[in-house]
Amino acid sequence: MNQLSNFALGVAVGIAGLYLTMHFALVRAEDGFHLVPKIAAKVEIPYTDIRKFTLGNWQTNKALTLAILRAKKGYLIQEPSLIGFKQANQQLLDQFSTKTTSKTGLAGLR
């Protein structure tokens, strides 16, 4: 029975780890680690170190940028040259949220 309980515990830990990896990204910033909900549930890029990110990195990782802004953690995008980029992505996220909620009929719940 001990082997079966170990197996069941391993399966439960594996399922929990997969769920976290699919739905959250672990982001390391200057002030520590942050768990940011992903825009889409995918098993890609579970960990990102953004301490040395430049404008090119943010443009390459658009999904991460939108996820950070959606989680209201825009302060993690700190470089002064990114102010315009940050505002443009916030507008894109707002447009995406409006279209998504209006299609589902939840526009009044925002």
How many whole angstroms separate alpha carbon 30 and alpha carbon 84? 21
The domain containing residue 43 runs over which residues?
2-109
Structure confidence at residue 106 as a pLDDT band (50, 70, 90): very low
Q: How many domains, in total, are found in the chain?
A: 1
- What lies within 8 Å, CB to CB, of 67 at 6+ separation is 25, 36, 37, 38, 39
Check residues 107 and 4 and name the one with the higher pLDDT. Answer: 4
Please tell me whether the overall predicted TM-score, pTM, comes out greater than 0.85 for this model.
no
